Structure formats: C-alpha cells, structure tokens
Structure 1
Amino acid sequence: MTKLFRGLQALIFGMLLLTACDPAEVYEKNIDLTSPAGDPYVWAVQNKPTFEFDITDTTQPYDVYLNIRNAMDYGYYNLYARVTLTDPDGKIISRKLHEMTLMDPKTGEPRGSGSGDIFDHRILALPNQSFTQPGTYKIVLEQYMRQDQLRGIMAVGVRVARHEAGK
C-alpha cells in the first residue's frame, strides 16, 4: 500500500512539474534512483546521474539548482553531493562539494515541500553561473555520504534557469 501511495504521489508531482511554466527555465530533469540490485529509493555510490543541457545564449548568467526528493525515513539530516560541471569541450568548469540540509539538525523536522512522508528540495548550487560558449554542457552528481547504499533518497535532478537579479 505504501509503494502505491508513493507512486501516486510521484505521478501527481510529475504532472504538476509538467504543467508549471517558468519562462526563466532552460532545463529541468529528475532521475528516480534505484540500487544496483533494483531496490527503489537507494542512491548507490557508483550511481552518478548525468544531466546534459544546451546553452545558446552566453550573454547572460544562469542559476543551477539541485532537486532532491527524499522519503521521511532517510536516516540523516543532510546530504553531501559533488557537482561537476563540464563545458561542450569536456573541460571541467566547476567541481564543488555541496552540503544540503534536508531536515532540521536539532528537531528532525523535514525541510522542503512535501506531503505525507515525501519531501522535495530545490537547492541553489551554482548561482550566477556564466557559460562562455554555446553548446551542450554536462552535470554529474555523486553522493558523498559515508555509505555505499544511501537509502531514502528517491530522486535527484538538475534545473537550469536564467538568473533573475534580485531573486
């Protein structure tokens, strides 16, 4: 029953994302996670989700966000992830380790938006990022927790949007 409920919530969330229009958005994609054995909601250390997006306008800055979906039974208040951004020539532009706080460290109360036991987070990872040449850029995400099989992380994603001053 719980899997059916989670599946229904994921379907509704996906439909909402498809119907939401944001003129600043350039790219957004989320990937559901499974262990090498096929267990759902597990981010294995060897699983490095990759996202490719096209930049045509190099005259303006962009904001790059990480999307994280976690279940309430995720065992930690934070998540460490390495984000590697490469340009169309394969050269690394940025490689940063991000600590994302998914729950309040003292109270354990979840942060982000959600209902039931599923929570979504959109975290600004690369603010005001400039892209110097048009073409296809790539972002690779790696979980940097001290566990090979990180349970409770349901999906990860990337969103790229035009930077809006004052936001």
Structure 2
Amino acid sequence: MPNVKMLGIFYFYRFKMKLKAFLFGILSIGLWASCDQTAIINENKPIENKTWLYTSHPSFQFHISDNTKKYDVYMNVRHTPEYAFSNLFVLIYQQHPNKKTYTFRKEVKLAKSDGKWTGKSSGSLYNQQAILHKDYIFPDTGLYTISIEQNMRDNPLKEITDIGLTVIPK
C-alpha cells in the first residue's frame, strides 16, 4: 500500500512544477509581445531559392515621427549551415525623406574563427542580427527606405534564406 504522505508530496511538487512552467510561458509570451510592439519595423524578406543575386535588393520602408529620439537599427540574416563563408559583406542604401541616399558597406561576422556559427540556431537555420546604427538619430521625420545588397565575390550567393531589418526606439 503506497504511503499517503509521500503521494501527497509527489503531487504537490508535480503541481508546483506545472505552475512554474505555466507562469514562465506566460512571462515569455509577455516579454516577446512587448519587444515586438516597440519595434518600428521588424520585417524579414525571403531570398528566393536561397540564392541571393547582386540584382536582388531586399527593401524596407518605415516612418520616423520623432527625430529627437535615438534608435538602434539592425540587419537580420538567416542562413543554412551550408553557407560557404564565415562572414557576409553587404551594401546598405539608406534613402531619407528628402530622397538623398547614403550608402555604406558593412561586414557581418557569421562564424567564429573555429567555424562555429555565432547566430541562434533554429532547426537547420541560423539567425544573426547585426547592428547597422547604434543610438542613431534620424535627421528628418518622414518615410525612410533601407535596401540591402549582397557584396560578396560569389554571385549568386547561396544558402542565405532571409534578410531583414529591425528599427527599435531607445
């Protein structure tokens, strides 16, 4: 015959663990939702057939209504483990509301020197977020467009699945 006291303790701890898991899930969803709500844009665009051509420039539009705030601007990269390089060079085209475009080159490190990927793994994909601007103050209010061009020697560049942009006010 089972010890009633031991069964009671077992069920109490089982209930306690389920409650902790439930509360952790609710907290995680709340944090995830609150992070997503603060971003002005958080968008990823797929690269067709995982082959990124020089002529393909994923483009992202967003509106800045407060040019006194600081913003962090990130480029999102998603790639497979078969990606052949440890880095990625891109050209960033940033068009301001006055239609002037500023271009700069950015290197994104995707792997350490030992070959281990630095991004977060999700199944057979790796997600990497690279800072384009930290504490950036946009000069004007209005509609901005950021386009991203791959600037590697290989064309097409294989095994890049998505490119994205995230802009977060501080």
Length-normalised TM-score, structure 2: 0.77
Structure 1 residue 128: Cα displacement: 1.6
Indicate the SS of the match to 2:140.
Answer: coil
Q: Indicate the structure with greater helix content.
A: 2
1:44–1:149: 8 Å Cα contact kept in structure 2? yes
Aligned to 2:128: 121
Select 1:59's aligned residue among 56, 68, 72: 68
Q: In terms of mean alpha carbon deviation, does 114-123 or 154-163 score higher?
A: 114-123
Which residue identity lines up with residue 43 of structure 1 in the other structure? W
Q: Give the C-alpha shift of residue 28 in structure 1.
A: 1.1
Query: Structure 1: which 4+ aligned runs deviate by more than 4 Å?
Result: none
Residues 86 and 138 of structure 1 are in contact (CA less than 8 Å); yes or no, is this contact kept in structure 2?
A: yes
Indicate conservation of the 8 Å contact 1:45/1:147, yes or no.
no
Q: Quote the sequence identity (%).
A: 27
Largest Rg, 1 or 2: 2
Note the residue ranges of structure 2 that are not aligned, 5 or more in a row. Answer: 1-28
Q: How does 1:16-35 map to 2 (within 5 A)?
A: 20-22=33-35, 23-34=37-48
Report the Cα offset of residue 151 of structure 1. Answer: 0.4
For normalisation by structure 1, the TM-score amounts to: 0.78
Q: What RMSD in Å do the two structures reach over aligned CA positions?
A: 1.5
The aligned length equals 139
Give the drift of 1:76.
0.4
Residue correspondence of structure 1 range 79-94 to structure 2 within 5 A: 79-92=88-101, 94=102
Partner of 2:25: none
Distance across 2 between alignment mates of 1:63 and 1:157: 14
